[in-house]
Amino acid sequence: MNRNSEKGKPGCDHYKAAIEDGSLVMIPYCACGQALDEDYFCEKCNKKCHCREIFCDNEATLDLIKEYAKKSSQFAGFRIRLGA
């Protein structure tokens, strides 16, 4: 698992993560910037997306995702970053 707290900008399919009303919210996006539906298909690019990075909106979200990554294999393989 690669947990990276570098600042960065999305350049690939990714999730944008935030804490809203005390809950973690992760929204999938295509590399082009288009928000994705449940099927992860980008209508703009006409392709199926595979999100492998999580961009956290702030340090609190980053810390929460890191805690989840320690406890759950579901987060294995994601690159976790603070960024856009």
For residues 61 and 41, the answer to whether their CB atoms sit within 8 Å is no
**pLDDT at residue 23, rounded to an integer:** 94
Residues with Cβ within 8 Å of residue 40, at least 6 apart in sequence: 13, 28, 48, 49, 50, 51
Q: Which two three-digit tokens encode residue 25?
A: 């919210």
**Structure confidence by residue, pLDDT tens digits, 19-56:** 999 999 999 999 999 999 999 999 999 999 999 999 99
How far is the C-alpha of 14 from the C-alpha of 22, rounded, in Å? 22
What global pTM score does this model have? Answer: 0.83
End-to-end CA distance of the chain: 21
Domain boundaries, the chain: 2-83
- For residue 34, the model assigns a pLDDT of 97
